[in-house]
Every structure is written in C-alpha cells, then in structure tokens.
Amino acid sequence: MDVSDGLVGDLAKLCRASGVTAEIDVESVPLSDAARAARAKEPALVEAILTGGDDYEVVATLPTGAVEAFRQATSASHVLVTEIGKVVAGEGTARFLDRKRKILCFARPSYSHF
C-alpha cells in the first residue's frame, strides 16, 4: 500500500481492513537526509514526518516465513526494503513506539485532502 497520505494514517487503514495491530519502531522508519536533519534539530517534527505523506514509499506486511525470499527478490531488483515493525493479533490499529517503547499519539494521523 502506498503511504501517500502518511505512514500513520495509511498503515492504520491497512490494520483496520486486516483486523490486526502493527507495532512500529519509529527509530527504524527510513528518513531522507533532510528529514533526519530536521528531526535532529526539532524532535517534535516526527509527527509531521510520519503523518505528512510520501508518494514514493510503500508499506507491506509479510508472513514471517516469506521475509527472506522477499528480501532476496527485492535485493536482486535493487529495491531497498526496511523492516520497521511487526504485526500482531489485535484490534485493527497501528502503534508507533519511540525508543523507550512509549506509544506516540498524533493529533492528525494523515494528510487530509479536504
């Protein structure tokens, strides 16, 4: 699924549709050099970074047994893949955890077109 409306909101949609919970390690989310530098200066920008949308990124979930084959296929195609969390049984939500494993809350989970 693309994350054009923001990772937080789009992943929440995926989780609701699948009836699972995603636990995301915010420190593992890949960032551009510019986003990394901005966040280093102003840590509160993490919300804008995770909810603002990125038309060039995709989020996917895989069964544990399929991860290695997926990594090999993407590597052979020169596609960079980053594991950012895990999917667990749950109620259809996405939890974004900081380095202390505290759940982050966001005022606006995704870009709104209206």
pLDDT given at position 8: 94
* Topology of the domain covering 2-97: Phosphoribosyl-aminoimidazole Synthetase; Chain A, domain 2 (3.90.650)
pLDDT given at position 108: 82
pLDDT given at position 114: 67
- Cα separations (Å) of 102 from 24, 60, 74? 11, 23, 32
Q: What whole-number distance in Å separates Cα of residue 110 and Cα of residue 89?
A: 23
Partners of 54 in beta bridges: 3
For the cut 80, the answer to whether the pLDDT of residue 112 exceeds it is no
Residues 45, 102 contacting (CB under 8 angstroms): no
The predicted model scores a pTM of 0.88
Q: What is the DSSP letter of 63?
A: -
User: Sorting pLDDT into bands at 50, 70 and 90, what band is 79?
Assistant: very high
Q: Where are the beta strands (DSSP E) in 1-114?
A: 2-3, 20-25, 54-58, 85-89, 94-97
User: Sorting pLDDT into bands at 50, 70 and 90, what band is 44?
Assistant: very high
